[in-house]
Amino acid sequence: MARESSSTLSASVPTRLKPLFLQGGFSLHGFIARGVASLVLNTLIATGITVFGDHEFTLNLLYAQCIGVSIWLILDVGRLFAISDWEVQWRRVVVLVPVGTLIGYVVGSLLGDWIMHKETLQFWMQEPRKTLGFLLMSLGLGAGGTYFYVNRERLAKSRTTEQMALRCASEARLKLLETQLEPHMLFNTLANLRVLIGVDPARAQQMLDRLNSYLRATLSGSRATTHPLSAEFDRLRDYLELMAVRMGPRLQYTLDLPDALRNEPVPPLLLQPLVENSIKHGLEPKVAGGCIRLRAYQDDGRLVLEVSDTGVGLPPAVLAGGALHETGFGLAQVRERLATAYGPQATLEIAANNDGGARATVTFPYINLEPDPSDERACRILRS
């Protein structure tokens, strides 16, 4: 485990040292927004110089835009190619701001001279104080603008890190809940197998073979956050076949999965506790047994998964309007997994069927919960 964390961290170092431009840190929208802000600020500076100075607004505006845009371009492009991490490479920032401001001031002045056919050098020689004042003002504005954008990027980075940490915690919680669910199902199956051994050894052996096949199919799969809905139905079919060995003709089932929904991602073993509840509390207490129906369909842009049975139904107290007793592992586990994966957008409803039995309905939006490989790598770095 330590070896994996170490290699993950070492693999992340070269990316961190790359310039922001090579890390994909360049945003055209942000670049344009900063350019527009520079134009507005330059216009305000030209207005102030005109009000308190002795030159016409057109001339002041031209030079303000040439100088301001030159400084902005040098500082903005310079940070993309020379700086990858503001906190680690702060010395480069200290050098970039004054040097970039000075170069931008000179380049902008020369550009204005070329457009207006003037010589700023004469103005620098005749008005050294004003020249120094304009230069210091440019330096202050450049430093202030850089400080503003640095803090904004740091805030955005911290928010991104926080969101990533929350997502990693959610993924870890989902996987923990899945690991809790599988032993619970296994213990219940082994308890049923123990009873069947004393009653019918041949069927017990058949059930053990089914259990072996089911566990191979279940445990050989990857510990992914989601799997296709078709895989969920396949697991449930294997489990129902396993239970059918013990219950015989008392257990019938149907699976209804439209082809259009087969590849929809869902958390693994999401419906397993609901199927167990239907068998344990619905069909087993009924002498004649019954049928379990698993159904998936769409409703108003949401995915609906339904587990219904023709068993003994809900307790009379619940039918009379009382609360459903959910101290057991199954329903509480399903609700917690739904809340972890989808938040308040997911619901679990338990109701009585019109023709007898009970129905559990799970509804949640279409959300891809499977993380990107880069996100998984980031989660390993955060955990280390």
**pLDDT digit string (tens) for 106-158?**
888 888 888 888 777 666 666 677 767 777 777 777 677 666 666 766 776 77
Tell me: do 227 and 370 sit in the same domain: yes
Q: What is the pLDDT of residue 2?
A: 36
- pTM score: 0.51
Tokens of 70: 């030159």
Kindly tell me if the per-residue pLDDT of 173 is higher than 90: no
Tell me: do 118 and 200 sit in the same domain: no
State which of 6-15, 68-77, 180-189, 268-277 shows the largest mean pLDDT: 268-277
Tell me: do 175 and 122 sit in the same domain: no
Characterize the bridge pairing of strands 290-299 and 251-256: parallel
Half-sphere exposure of residue 30: CA atoms within 13 angstroms, side-chain side? 13
Tell me: do 340 and 222 sit in the same domain: yes
d(CA 378, CA 165): 9
Tell me: do 178 and 293 sit in the same domain: yes
What's the pLDDT tens digit per position in 14-65?
344 444 444 445 677 777 888 888 888 888 888 887 787 777 888 888 888 8
**Domain for residue 258, yes or no?**
yes
Which range of residues forms the domain containing residue 58?
2-126
Tell me: do 305 and 185 sit in the same domain: yes
> 371-375: long-range contacts (C-beta < 8 A, 24 or more apart)?
371/167, 371/171, 371/225, 375/164, 375/167, 375/168
**Domain for residue 380, yes or no?**
no
CB atoms under 10 Å from CB of 349, counted, come to 11
Tell me: do 329 and 183 sit in the same domain: yes
Residue where a domain terminates, one of 126, 161, 189: 126
d(CA 366, CA 5): 33
Q: How many residues does the chain have?
A: 384
pLDDT band at residue 168 under the 50/70/90 scheme: low
Q: For the chain, how big is the Rg over CA atoms in Å?
A: 34
Tell me: do 76 and 8 sit in the same domain: yes
Tokens of 228: 């296709």
What's the pLDDT tens digit per position in 97-111?
778 788 888 888 888
Q: How many domains does the chain have?
A: 2
Task: Please state, rounded to an integer, the average pLDDT across all residues of the chain.
Answer: 75
> 254-260: long-range contacts (C-beta < 8 A, 24 or more apart)?
254/291, 254/292, 254/293, 254/294, 255/293, 255/294, 256/293, 256/294, 256/295, 256/296, 256/297, 257/229, 257/230, 257/233, 257/294, 257/295, 257/296, 258/296, 258/297, 260/298
What's the pLDDT tens digit per position in 252-310?
999 999 999 999 998 888 898 899 889 988 998 998 999 999 999 999 889 999 999 99
Question: What would you measure as the largest C-alpha separation in the chain, in angstroms?
Answer: 111
Half-sphere exposure of residue 85: CA atoms within 13 angstroms, side-chain side? 10
Kindly tell me if the per-residue pLDDT of 195 is higher than 50: yes
Kindly tell me if the per-residue pLDDT of 85 is higher than 80: no
d(CA 264, CA 370): 11
**Domain for residue 155, yes or no?**
no
Q: How far is CA 257 from CA 29, 142, 269, 361, in A?
A: 44, 62, 16, 15
Tell which wins on pLDDT, 282 or 166.
282
What is residue 287's three-state secondary structure?
coil
Half-sphere exposure of residue 57: CA atoms within 13 angstroms, side-chain side? 5
Q: What is the pLDDT of residue 63?
A: 83
CB atoms under 10 Å from CB of 181, counted, come to 22
Tell me: do 117 and 256 sit in the same domain: no
Tokens of 177: 């809940």
What is residue 40's three-state secondary structure?
helix
Q: Which residue has the tokens 């307790």?
A: 315
Tell me: do 122 and 176 sit in the same domain: no
DSSP string, 314-352: S-HHHHTT------SHHHHHHHHHHHHHHGGG-EEEEEE
**Domain for residue 158, yes or no?**
no
Q: What is the pLDDT of residue 22?
A: 42
**Domain for residue 119, yes or no?**
yes
Tokens of 88: 């680690």
Instruction: Specify the range with the lowest mean pLDDT, choosing from 56-60, 141-145, 219-223, 342-346.
Output: 219-223
Q: Comparing C-alpha atoms, which of 296, 234, 307, 207 is closest to residue 259?
A: 296
CATH code: domain of residue 183: 3.30.565.10
Tell me: do 304 and 368 sit in the same domain: yes
d(CA 57, CA 60): 5
Characterize the bridge pairing of strands 302-309 and 358-365: antiparallel
In the chain, beta strands by DSSP E: 227-228, 251-256, 265-266, 290-299, 302-309, 347-352, 358-365
**Domain for residue 184, yes or no?**
yes
